[in-house]
Structure 1
């Protein structure tokens, strides 16, 4: 089947149906053949439909990035830009174990989980730092759905519920290292490893 036809949402309807007539004295018992006894609907997003984090594997030696880095989170555009166009994770192709971890992300080995957890925490920290550095960013602002601003709002609401942007900015300014550690704790680094 062509890949273009595999995108979208697959909806599976499962039904338990009475095969034929059944005599019963119970008032609520099904009697007619074809009566639906149970039903369940499940929807599954297929590869082409579900949002995915944009990742590119590149040789850091051919870029301005430090050649020994494992990855780099690139954030660009304003807060109304679509997240998929504003965020890019660059993975250093020279770091084979990291590349393999991302390739195995759907079914990671124990070592892959460690690498992915570290990357996840660093990506979250980078995105939170980006939000706090942009003085136009506020939790109360109305950003388009799936925009960078909306994604950052969701990220902060997930990891720092009921904490104002001003409070987070102040904590970050007063002690950047402690704030980075707070992000690690909020993200739950290595909990899945």
Structure 2
């Protein structure tokens, strides 16, 4: 444990209940599979905490609890999402106080990590008891974090299904791939969204998860667009290693699997002999064979 330049709260001075994840009307504990989650869901992390004021003052050396807050922090490594909510500890004296984080749709994927803590949210007068005084000082940091794997049907690729007609997308289009990435180091799941038009006759087939010719066309189209976008945005002077889950890592895997070459080589090939590259890609992805 890292030594702090100020006194910290004792284990007996604060209690945090294990957080839970709410998706719709369903409640899940940390570690549970979450089959009802998808990228359109707007989940909520539910937590509570309670403090023992006398013990909290004794252990921290503080004269009062003003400016001290309980915190809950939610992180999603796959998309880069982070949200922190703070609640004054005075509301957690004698009764549990809620700590809740509401998460918007299409902002998280893969897994959520939740951490609790106590933090100063304002500057305090410097005392003689080695009490924390600087804003942002973490007076209590539990060693445990809680993880929620998001394992809905859409967990493998960020997909949203809706009717295109009222949204401005061409109503006759079957899908739209939204790929926005300013860097190869960005989390892939936060940079890409596949929109399926529920008003199209093939929508149910594409969303079923069953291999079909329709899905092989979709798969090839997505892979091709990702590679073309990469070739138009980045030079061929690229690193050979990327952190897992990043845009660069996913594009590297696609290039290796379907073109048998590294990402830099694939981008160079797209610029130099794109026609041949795309023909190889059609063969490798099984276009019109119904394998996907």
Please classify the TM superposition score into its range, dividing by the shorter chain length. 0.5 to 0.7
Q: Give a deviation string over 1:60-94, Cα, whole Å, max 9, x none.
A: 22344332111111111222221111111111121
Query: In the alignment, does 2:199 pair up with 1:94?
Result: yes
Cross-structure match for 1:84 = 189
Cross-structure match for 2:176 = 72
1:138/1:63 CA distance change after superposition, 3 Å: farther
1:137/1:91 CA distance change after superposition, 3 Å: farther
Distance 1:61 1:87 in 2: 21
Query: In the alignment, does 2:28 pair up with 1:4?
Result: yes
Classify the secondary structure of the residue corresponding to 1:101: helix
Count of aligned pairs between the two proteins? 150
Distance 2:177 2:241 in 1: 25
Classify the secondary structure of the residue corresponding to 1:90: strand
Structure 1: which 5+ residue stretches go unaligned? 9-44
Cross-structure match for 1:143 = 242
What is the CA RMSD across the aligned residues, in angstroms?
3.1
179, 187, 190: which is aligned to 2:285?
Answer: 187
Q: TM-score normalized by structure 2?
A: 0.44
Distance 1:113 1:174 in 2: 33
Distance 1:4 1:95 in 2: 34
159, 169, 172: which is aligned to 1:55?
Answer: 159
Greater fraction strand:
2
Cross-structure match for 2:229 = 130
Q: Is the 8 A contact 2:184 2:246 kept in 1?
A: yes
Q: Is the 8 A contact 2:164 2:170 kept in 1?
A: yes
Q: TM-score normalized by structure 1?
A: 0.63
How far 1:53 sits from its partner (Å)? Answer: 0.2
How far 1:58 sits from its partner (Å)? Answer: 2.5
